[in-house]
Amino acid sequence: MINLYDLLDIVKAKYSLTPLDTSSCDNLKVSGMKFDIKAFEAKGLGHISLMSAKGFFGLMKMDTLIITPTELDLPIYSYDRIMAMGNDTLITEMYDTMVSKISFDEVKKVVENYSQLPLRDPGAHWYDDIKLPESISFKGKKAVSADFDELSAQHLKSFLNTPAQQVTDQEAKKARSLYYINGLLEHGGPSTDVFVKALGKEATEMLFHDILFGI
């Protein structure tokens, strides 16, 4: 399973990163899982967060990388990788928080190159109307983990290489991002509900806005 910091290095190759204070999340434990959360400002791009969780006697591991573009007009990018019970799950979703529309031809080509991988049914969600078609959802046994690693890196690289305009309307960009972020808090979901149950609504809102998404 590719290391989160290897993915972060892909971002670092294009953008200067400044670590942000995440001490409020130190030693965070939720529902039997221990979380390690870090955040960075990527100059010229926006906000980056990493979240790694381990639990259940080492039987489950979950990694998350979130890119919230505030300076470039790109979509929110959310990578999740889950190893549990001998299964490997890769979910990378892009949410249309753009003010101006652009195409993701390079990302689309990467996804097509890995079309042989075992698909995972993502199900129906409230945000489906803003989830871009270049999003991916796969699930398989450890035999496909190396392919998942390659796809994870290539998908992120192609996303970052997508030509995009500088954000000129900050309020419009922020509003589109908040539609998704606040929607997670309003509509809930497996991961959101776990944090709300353990931390409470107010603390979860602060975690999402201040650290995970930086808005």
Q: What is the pLDDT of residues 70-85, one digit of tens each?
A: 999 999 999 999 999 8
Confidence bin at 58 (pLDDT 50/70/90): low
Q: Which residue would you say has higher pLDDT here, 180 or 30?
A: 180
Q: Which stretches of the chain are assigned E, i.e. beta strand?
A: 17-19, 28-30, 33-42, 46-55, 60-69, 76-84, 87-95, 136-141
Reported as a single tens digit per residue, the pLDDT across 95-123 is: 999 999 999 999 999 999 999 999 999 99
Q: Degrees (nearest 5) of the Cα angle 133, 131, 143?
A: 60
Q: Degrees (nearest 5) of the Cα angle 190, 25, 41?
A: 95
Here the CATH number for the domain that contains residue 25 is 3.40.1500.20
Domains contained in the chain, number: 1
Full-model pTM:
0.96
Q: Is the pLDDT of residue 29 over 90?
A: no
| CA distances from residue 89 to 57, 63, 86, 128, 140 in whole angstroms, order as listed | 19, 10, 10, 19, 7
The answer to whether 73 touches 100, Cβ cutoff 8 Å, is yes
Its domain, for residue 163, covers 4-212
